[in-house]
């Protein structure tokens, strides 16, 4: 893809979008946003600094997990308070908790005491039974446009165990020699299910650019389990899915909460293209150590915008660009630090990144 040199006219907004940080400009980009996103994430050929606003979440209600988790983003309005909760694709019941802004498994609900019983206990989902064609018609306009469509999977590998066994049962099962083989067999079949779902998405929604999967591995202070456990019990089964995502030309992004610095090598080994850790992780250190192997979500230096002049905000953007806008080692702006992106900061960061990435 031939990319023209930066033209100051690109800073003239072609429109405006809205995010949690307020109104943001849509610059006059030299290529379609989706193409730039794929080039950046998959091919490691950045065109401008991605800030997280290049993607659009898509979680249609035809997927039982999306409704159960009260996380539906599609054309039709979804009322989490009224419609959230219910049964997920494996029959686990969830309840929407307004104060938490999300759903939790119904208390006291344990589907499996021992993972050796999964084959005789679980009723396996059938993606063919979901109304993909109807959803494609209803969401034709929602998925159109040139932003990168990001399909979210709410429940990954370890989180799926938690939904069956609650946290204590799931964490113990991973280290129980009598359950390990059963978990590996289950994770293998779970990966096949996710691949089947991904293929359905790409067939009915070819605009899909990214598969974004949740699997939390840590608490505020520490990872739930040792890196060796993740390496043995989770990485090979994730890798099967990320290999498939890459084989169809899409981006694989992991969402994993908690202080999981120790697990970054496993994130890389599992084949994820990008991960944006929460603020308790030292994202600058992670970038320094692993940014050549993983597109790291870096949290910019935080500051009080009211205390700084426009030029001082632009100076901070230039500092970020000089350190992190490296063509050989691109990163993304971590959403947990997006409050630093004032309008002057965004303009300057875009300008400097276009110049630096064009060298």
Q: Where are the domains of the chain?
A: 33-357
pLDDT at res. 119: 97
pLDDT of residue 144: 94
> Model confidence over 285-340: pLDDT tens digits?
999 999 999 999 999 999 999 999 999 999 999 999 999 999 999 999 999 998 99
Instruction: Read off the pLDDT of residues 218-245 as tens digits, 9 standing for 90 and up.
Output: 999 999 999 999 999 999 999 999 999 9
Cβ contacts of residue 198 below 8 Å, gap of 6+? 151, 211, 241, 244, 245, 248, 250
pLDDT digits (tens, 9 = 90+) for 4-16: 899 999 999 998 9
- Return the pLDDT at 108: 85
Does domain 33-357 fall under CATH 3.20.20.210? My reply is yes
Q: State pLDDT tens for residues 35-61.
A: 999 999 999 999 999 998 899 999 999
The pairing of strands 22-26 and 332-333 is unpaired
Does residue 90 carry a pLDDT above 90?
Answer: yes
pLDDT digits (tens, 9 = 90+) for 102-127: 999 988 889 999 999 999 999 999 99
- Band of pLDDT at residue 20, cut at 50, 70 and 90: low
Whether the pLDDT of residue 197 is over 90: the answer is: yes
- Mean pLDDT, range 334-347, rounded to an integer: 93
């Amino acid at each position: 893809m031939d990319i023209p040199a930066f033209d100051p006219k690109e800073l003239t907004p072609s429109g405006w979008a809205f995010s949690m940080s307020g109104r943001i400009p849509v610059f006059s980009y030299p290529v379609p946003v989706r193409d730039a996103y794929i080039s950046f994430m998959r091919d490691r050929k950045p065109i401008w600094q991605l800030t997280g606003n290049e993607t659009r979440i898509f979680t249609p209600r035809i997927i039982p997990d999306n409704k159960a988790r009260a996380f539906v983003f599609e054309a039709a309005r979804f009322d989490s308070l009224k419609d959230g909760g219910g049964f997920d694709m494996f029959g686990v019941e969830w309840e929407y908790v307004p104060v938490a802004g999300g759903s939790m498994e119904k208390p006291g609900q344990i589907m499996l005491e021992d993972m050796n019983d999964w084959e005789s206990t679980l009723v396996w989902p059938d993606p063919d039974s979901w109304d993909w064609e109807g959803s494609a018609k209803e969401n034709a306009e929602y998925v159109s446009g040139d932003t990168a469509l990001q399909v979210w999977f709410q429940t990954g590998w370890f989180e799926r165990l938690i939904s069956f066994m609650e946290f204590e049962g799931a964490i113990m099962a991973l280290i129980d020699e009598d359950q390990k083989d059963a978990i590996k067999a289950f994770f293998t079949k779970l990966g096949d299910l996710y691949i089947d779902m991904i293929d359905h998405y790409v067939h009915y929604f070819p605009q899909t650019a990214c598969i974004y999967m949740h699997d939390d591995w840590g608490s505020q202070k520490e990872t739930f389990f040792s890196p060796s456990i993740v390496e043995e019990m989770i990485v090979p089964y994730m890798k099967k899915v990320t290999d498939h995502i890459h084989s169809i030309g899409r981006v694989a992004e992991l969402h994993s909460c908690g202080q999981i610095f120790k697990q970054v090598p496993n994130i890389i080994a599992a084949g994820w293209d990008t991960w944006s850790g929460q603020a308790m992780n030292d994202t600058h250190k992670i970038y320094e150590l692993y940014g050549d192997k993983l597109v790291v979500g870096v949290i910019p230096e935080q500051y009080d915008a009211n205390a700084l002049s426009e030029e001082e905000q632009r100076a901070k953007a230039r500092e970020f660009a000089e350190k992190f806008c490296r063509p050989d080692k691109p990163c993304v702006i971590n959403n947990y630090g997006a409050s630093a992106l004032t309008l002057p900061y965004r303009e300057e960061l875009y300008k400097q990144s276009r110049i630096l990435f064009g060298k």
